[in-house]
Structure 1
Amino acid sequence: MHIDLSGRTALVTGSTQGIGYAIAAGLARAGARTCVNGRGAASVEEAVARLRADAGSDHLVAAPGDLATDRGTEAVVTAVPEADILVNNLGVFGVAPPLEIDDDEWRRYFEVNVLTAVRMIRAYLPGMIERGWGRVVCIASDSAVVIPAEMIHYGLTKTSLLALTRGFAKAAAGSGVTVNSVIAGPTHTGGVEDFVRDLVGGELSWDEAQRVFMREHRPQSLLQRLIEPEEIAHMVVYLSSPLASATTGGALRVDGGYVDAILP
């Protein structure tokens, strides 16, 4: 299977590290002009420099800006006026006792994990529809379907992403633009390493901590290991390509069999 995204511009939100960085690298390797986003200019420039080496691409654009703010959103749209591929990856997560999550924290999670995706889709989907081609991919989570007791605020926002993806797919119906979400399972990132250690303790080696985490907190995983970010990126690159032209309004799973259902 050969995926060639030459001539396409892709914007990946929250792409200076983790899953977002892996997605940006995958799109760049496929030939897309790839725009890297993060809150700070320094972290974005550092990620762009790493991508030049990792992906072997000179078609990279720095697009710093805090998308949870009007000013940051304006800065990103100014840096990237048009995009053929939009990947809404930006998100925050963390453990919190459900009854101790206050209103401000609920609002913060919804603002960052949901409304930033709405803003980006509103900014770029009309141009995609007008040009008759485009791809929107939102990075959701197994937590959208299996709400974790230790972070229901995160789970709720990821469920919301599934709903808005389906809704915007209907808005783009018949236009040549596809809108999908990817349900990512437990993935090996720096943030998840911290999360795992918070749950199982910091005295174990990483391999031991990962095994304990999967056994005690994610026992339904059929993969029985954390997913690597590149494995998520492979699905996103496919969905961003012409090969996925008949896939829209979907929630595609890269969850290692974590969600115990035939359909999401």
Structure 2
Amino acid sequence: MALQFSVLASGSTGNAIYVESEQYRLLVDCGLSGKKMEGLFSKINRSPKDLDAILVTHEHSDHVKGLGVFSRRHRLPIYANEKTWAAMSGSIGEIPTDQKFVFDCGSTKMFGDIDVESFGVSHDAAEPMFFVFRQAQKSLTLLTDVGYVSDKIKGTIQQSDAYIIEANHDISMLMAGRYPWNVKRRILGDSGHISNEDAGTALVDVLDDRTKKIYLAHLSKDNNMKELARMTVQQRLEQEGLRIGEALRLYDTDPEMPTKLEVV
């Protein structure tokens, strides 16, 4: 069976990504309650009981809110780097020792037949990291919660078959919105979140002919709209001659509705 995935939920209210192969089933982050997670899994005809492990990107509540309860309920091992373990220890409750594992930033681990490469990003967390999943010559990149996409990150994520990438905000909406200036400054800063335009520019630098699917993720509910994010990214890609259509598709994600389970 090929590598498959679903963006179960994505946004400021909670994030969770599901990745599976024939041998292994992974959850990345668990930023929603156990009850909501159960409902999301049922919508893609999967069960948390079938999971093998949980990977954690960073300790912010929209990524770990349900992690402790969910992992204890289903006896799931959790993989995170040491700084993230320390930063989230007060918010996820006691995790049994035999469920706690270290996954160093900048390293690669094998989970069954899936190679998972972790890489560091610029974000205001202890040691945030995201992942490239590789299996049978196919690759999926997950990159959200990043202030800017560095050349080092671009080198790691280039030429993936599919991308789940942040398109957090429209800059004009953010600047005109109700957020206080210190919050706007955080979002716009190098340790904040990338905009629709930033996402398009980063994609221009990493896509090639093998890329078939792009999912725009972690949209702000106050400072963005799906249609606007899609339009901005599409325009940026098409400026460089990259056409959205049959060969390259652009997808929305949602804070409450999972995407269809898709082959990478």
TM-score category (smaller protein): 0.3 to 0.5
What is the TM-score when the length of structure 2 is the normalising length?
0.39
Whose helix proportion is higher, 1 or 2?
1
